[in-house]
Amino acid sequence: MLGTTIVENLDMIAGLYTSSIFFFALSCLLQQKLSDKYAGEIIFRPSSCGPHYITLSRKVYGGLYAHKDILELGKDHKDIKNLFRLGNMLKIREGTFEDLDEVMDRYVGLLVSHLKAMLSYRKFRKGSKEEVDELLRIEKAEFPTRMLYCFSISHENLGK
Protein backbone atom coordinates (compact mmCIF):
# COMPACT_ATOMS: atom_id res chain seq x y z
CA MET A 1 0.00 0.00 0.00
CA LEU A 2 1.27 3.45 -0.88
CA GLY A 3 2.89 5.34 1.96
CA THR A 4 2.92 2.65 4.63
CA THR A 5 5.85 2.19 6.96
CA ILE A 6 7.97 -0.93 7.13
CA VAL A 7 7.98 -2.11 10.73
CA GLU A 8 10.95 -3.99 12.16
CA ASN A 9 11.40 -5.59 15.58
CA LEU A 10 14.09 -4.08 17.79
CA ASP A 11 14.75 -6.96 20.21
CA MET A 12 18.48 -6.25 20.01
CA ILE A 13 18.00 -2.97 21.89
CA ALA A 14 14.93 -3.96 23.89
CA GLY A 15 13.24 -1.14 25.73
CA LEU A 16 15.35 1.74 24.49
CA TYR A 17 13.32 2.94 21.52
CA THR A 18 9.77 4.02 22.22
CA SER A 19 8.75 3.30 18.64
CA SER A 20 9.37 0.20 16.55
CA ILE A 21 9.35 1.76 13.09
CA PHE A 22 13.09 1.73 12.70
CA PHE A 23 15.22 -0.44 10.46
CA PHE A 24 18.89 -0.90 11.26
CA ALA A 25 20.76 -1.52 8.02
CA LEU A 26 23.27 -0.25 5.53
CA SER A 27 21.96 1.73 2.58
CA CYS A 28 22.30 -1.23 0.20
CA LEU A 29 20.21 -3.44 2.52
CA LEU A 30 17.65 -0.68 2.86
CA GLN A 31 17.25 -0.45 -0.90
CA GLN A 32 16.90 -4.23 -1.06
CA LYS A 33 14.18 -4.03 1.63
CA LEU A 34 12.27 -1.39 -0.36
CA SER A 35 12.93 -2.82 -3.84
CA ASP A 36 9.68 -4.78 -4.12
CA LYS A 37 7.56 -2.10 -2.39
CA TYR A 38 5.32 0.53 -3.96
CA ALA A 39 6.41 4.11 -4.60
CA GLY A 40 6.00 6.12 -1.41
CA GLU A 41 6.97 3.35 1.03
CA ILE A 42 9.23 4.63 3.79
CA ILE A 43 11.63 3.46 6.48
CA PHE A 44 12.99 5.42 9.43
CA ARG A 45 16.58 4.49 10.26
CA PRO A 46 19.59 5.83 12.16
CA SER A 47 21.42 8.55 10.26
CA SER A 48 25.04 8.71 9.20
CA CYS A 49 24.99 12.36 10.36
CA GLY A 50 25.37 11.28 13.98
CA PRO A 51 23.40 10.24 17.07
CA HIS A 52 21.17 13.32 17.02
CA TYR A 53 19.67 12.50 13.63
CA ILE A 54 17.47 9.84 12.09
CA THR A 55 16.90 9.37 8.37
CA LEU A 56 13.61 9.00 6.55
CA SER A 57 14.25 6.88 3.44
CA ARG A 58 11.52 6.82 0.81
CA LYS A 59 11.10 4.84 -2.39
CA VAL A 60 10.35 7.32 -5.16
CA TYR A 61 9.80 4.81 -7.96
CA GLY A 62 11.71 2.02 -9.65
CA GLY A 63 15.23 2.00 -8.24
CA LEU A 64 15.16 5.61 -7.03
CA TYR A 65 15.21 6.42 -3.31
CA ALA A 66 15.18 9.75 -1.47
CA HIS A 67 16.65 10.27 1.99
CA LYS A 68 15.81 13.09 4.40
CA ASP A 69 17.74 13.65 7.63
CA ILE A 70 15.63 14.53 10.66
CA LEU A 71 17.24 16.39 13.56
CA GLU A 72 16.35 15.09 17.03
CA LEU A 73 16.16 17.94 19.56
CA GLY A 74 16.14 17.67 23.35
CA LYS A 75 18.40 14.64 23.78
CA ASP A 76 20.37 14.34 27.01
CA HIS A 77 24.05 13.95 26.12
CA LYS A 78 25.08 12.63 29.54
CA ASP A 79 23.35 9.23 29.47
CA ILE A 80 24.41 6.83 26.70
CA LYS A 81 20.96 5.17 26.75
CA ASN A 82 19.41 8.45 25.63
CA LEU A 83 21.27 8.18 22.34
CA PHE A 84 18.99 5.23 21.54
CA ARG A 85 15.82 7.16 22.34
CA LEU A 86 14.07 9.64 20.09
CA GLY A 87 14.54 13.29 20.91
CA ASN A 88 11.72 15.31 22.47
CA MET A 89 11.19 17.12 19.19
CA LEU A 90 11.97 16.22 15.57
CA LYS A 91 12.90 18.88 13.02
CA ILE A 92 12.75 18.71 9.22
CA ARG A 93 13.82 22.00 7.68
CA GLU A 94 11.61 24.62 9.36
CA GLY A 95 8.97 22.14 10.53
CA THR A 96 8.94 20.64 14.01
CA PHE A 97 7.18 17.44 15.06
CA GLU A 98 6.54 15.82 18.44
CA ASP A 99 6.94 12.19 17.33
CA LEU A 100 7.21 9.86 14.34
CA ASP A 101 3.42 9.58 14.06
CA GLU A 102 3.20 13.33 13.51
CA VAL A 103 6.02 13.13 10.92
CA MET A 104 4.00 10.42 9.16
CA ASP A 105 0.78 12.44 9.23
CA ARG A 106 2.01 15.94 8.43
CA TYR A 107 5.15 15.38 6.37
CA VAL A 108 5.20 11.92 4.81
CA GLY A 109 1.47 11.87 4.03
CA LEU A 110 1.77 15.08 2.03
CA LEU A 111 4.88 13.88 0.17
CA VAL A 112 3.28 10.56 -0.73
CA SER A 113 0.03 12.12 -1.93
CA HIS A 114 1.95 14.51 -4.21
CA LEU A 115 4.17 11.67 -5.46
CA LYS A 116 1.14 9.50 -6.21
CA ALA A 117 -0.56 12.37 -8.08
CA MET A 118 2.58 13.05 -10.12
CA LEU A 119 3.22 9.40 -11.01
CA SER A 120 -0.38 8.93 -12.18
CA TYR A 121 -0.54 12.19 -14.18
CA ARG A 122 -0.88 11.60 -17.93
CA LYS A 123 2.11 13.84 -18.72
CA PHE A 124 4.48 11.99 -16.36
CA ARG A 125 7.43 10.26 -18.07
CA LYS A 126 9.89 7.85 -16.48
CA GLY A 127 13.58 8.15 -17.18
CA SER A 128 16.56 10.42 -16.76
CA LYS A 129 16.53 14.00 -18.05
CA GLU A 130 18.28 12.91 -21.24
CA GLU A 131 15.78 10.08 -21.84
CA VAL A 132 12.79 12.36 -21.24
CA ASP A 133 14.27 15.05 -23.51
CA GLU A 134 14.71 12.43 -26.24
CA LEU A 135 11.07 11.32 -25.85
CA LEU A 136 9.97 14.94 -26.27
CA ARG A 137 12.17 15.39 -29.37
CA ILE A 138 10.65 12.27 -30.96
CA GLU A 139 7.12 13.41 -30.14
CA LYS A 140 7.86 16.92 -31.45
CA ALA A 141 9.13 15.44 -34.73
CA GLU A 142 5.84 13.54 -35.08
CA PHE A 143 3.65 16.50 -34.10
CA PRO A 144 5.59 19.72 -34.92
CA THR A 145 2.66 22.09 -34.28
CA ARG A 146 1.97 20.86 -30.73
CA MET A 147 3.26 22.55 -27.59
CA LEU A 148 4.78 19.62 -25.72
CA TYR A 149 5.70 19.22 -22.07
CA CYS A 150 5.93 16.51 -19.45
CA PHE A 151 6.83 15.87 -15.80
CA SER A 152 9.58 13.61 -14.57
CA ILE A 153 11.56 12.77 -11.46
CA SER A 154 14.77 14.75 -11.12
CA HIS A 155 17.41 12.06 -10.65
CA GLU A 156 19.95 14.72 -9.67
CA ASN A 157 17.82 16.30 -6.91
CA LEU A 158 15.90 13.42 -5.35
CA GLY A 159 14.18 14.42 -2.14
CA LYS A 160 14.93 18.13 -2.44
Chain segment 21-78, per-residue pLDDT in tens: 455 555 667 777 888 888 888 888 888 888 889 989 888 888 888 889 999 998 877 7
Chain segment 86-116, per-residue pLDDT in tens: 888 999 988 999 998 999 999 999 989 999 9
**Residue 13 half-sphere exposure toward CB, CA atoms < 13 A:** 16
Judge whether residue 8 has pLDDT over 80. no
Q: What are the extents of the domains in the chain?
A: 11-120, 122-160
The C-alpha angle with vertex 106 and arms to 154 and 28, in degrees rounded to 5, equals: 45
In this structure, which amino acid lies at residue 57? S
At 131, give phi and psi (nearest 5°).
Answer: -65, -40
Q: Could you give the CA distance from residue 155 to residue 157 in angstroms, rounded to a whole number? A: 6
- Torsion-angle region of residue 29: left (phi > 0), alpha (psi -120 to 50) or beta? alpha
Instruction: Determine if the pTM surpasses 0.85.
Output: no
At 88, give phi and psi (nearest 5°).
Answer: -70, -25
CATH topology of domain 11-120: SHC Adaptor Protein (3.30.505)
